[in-house]
Amino acid sequence: MSDATPQTLPLAPFVARRGWRNGHVMTLAAWRRTRQYPELPAAEPRQFRTAPDTTVLAHGYWQPDRTSRPTLLALHGLEGSVDSHYMRGLAHEAWQRGWNAVLLNQRNCGGTEHLTPSLYHSGLTDDPFDVMAQLHAEGLPHFGVVGYSLGGNLALRIAGEIATVPQRASSPVRAVAAVSPTMDLDVCVRAIERPSNVLYQWHFMRNLRARMRRKAALWPGEYDVTPLGRLRTIRAFDDAYTAPRAGFGTAANYYHQASAMRLIDRVTVPTLIVGAEDDPFEPPEQFRRPEVTGNPHVRVMLSPHGGHCGFVARDGYYAERTALTFLAAFMPS
């Protein structure tokens, strides 16, 4: 562990790849770009029981002496999975540094709809905490958490709950990083509802509707798919399915209760937020709020460019590299 603090740790600024200095270009190009990891070993799938009726699937990349190494827990965004490009990129970055990496599918993601009758949401921290607790009991000493987008909100909530929820205080998490986090859910959903973001809204809704139809087929009687045909926005989907199923009632209450913004001022775990001014649907104003900037344990790196979960530099993927550099600085020796 270095003597650096989150604010003093030397971290290079992001310089966007030439020709990609546009938020939409960066977002879409990074998403569609083919990436290969020849050095990364085959993943070891493992299921974790996190509730009486719920199992989640993770992919592990293990060092030979796993119990003497730090472990990365990676959390994907809305409708992502362990196969999302940044998830495998994080695994590669961690593996190259001598870390273990655990990529966690959120409930129903990555083809796991049959493993639980419930749905995932942006405040569901029980699963990652339970997975880390089980691995910690098996001898893995220290964890760093990285989340992207919706998973970034989850990562920040993990940091906040360690400070505010007594049963979380003994968590083995030593540092957290969030890339393009939806830390104020209502603000981010409003942003994706802009006409300029219709492509993103359409993409997410196509996947959400398809997932709910698969879910209903696997769990007869659990879900009524009749409303799906008229749902056109993420907010409407959350009002119809996510919020009532998770006990929030309405989308508005869900967005308020699940947003990491409600906890960020109480975070004491070293925490990094990586964001971009040109993110199409993550307004940068959320990262400038006093709850964020006034906490010395939280470092914000806000770049002019980067898009949403993009951050492709001339020499590789900046956010993945920077997140692991930050986590490594706060791991016990």
Q: What is the pLDDT of residues 239-267, one digit of tens each?
A: 999 999 999 999 999 999 999 999 999 99
Residue 158 in domain: yes
Residue 96 sits in a domain of what CATH number?
3.40.50.1820
- As for how many domains the chain has, the answer is 1
The per-residue pLDDT for 265 is 98
Whether the pLDDT of residue 181 is over 90: the answer is: yes
pLDDT range class, residue 280, cuts 50, 70, 90 = very high
Domain extent, residue 127, equals 23-184+263-329
Average pLDDT, the chain: 96
The per-residue pLDDT for 58 is 98
Residue 200 in domain: no
Residue 332's region, left for phi above 0, alpha for psi from -120 to 50, else beta, is: beta
Residue 14 in domain: no
Alpha-carbon distance 208 to 70, whole Å?
34
Whether the pLDDT of residue 112 is over 70: the answer is: yes
Residue 128 in domain: yes
Residue range 206-251, pLDDT digits in tens: 999 999 999 999 999 999 999 999 999 999 999 999 999 999 999 9
Residue 13 in domain: no
149 catalytic, yes or no?
yes
Residue range 29-79, pLDDT digits in tens: 999 888 988 889 999 999 999 999 999 999 999 999 999 999 999 999 999
Q: Spot the catalytic one: 59, 76, 297, 308.
A: 308
Q: Spot the catalytic one: 59, 239, 279, 305.
A: 279
pLDDT range class, residue 1, cuts 50, 70, 90 = low
Residue 64 in domain: yes
Length, in residues, of the chain:
333
Residue 171 in domain: yes
Residue 220 in domain: no
The per-residue pLDDT for 2 is 64
Say what the pTM is: 0.96
Q: Spot the catalytic one: 122, 149, 180, 259.
A: 149
Nearest residue to 156 (alpha-carbon basis) of 57, 75, 47, 71: 75
308 catalytic, yes or no?
yes
85 catalytic, yes or no?
no
Please give the distance of CA 8 from its chain centroid, rounded to a whole number: 25
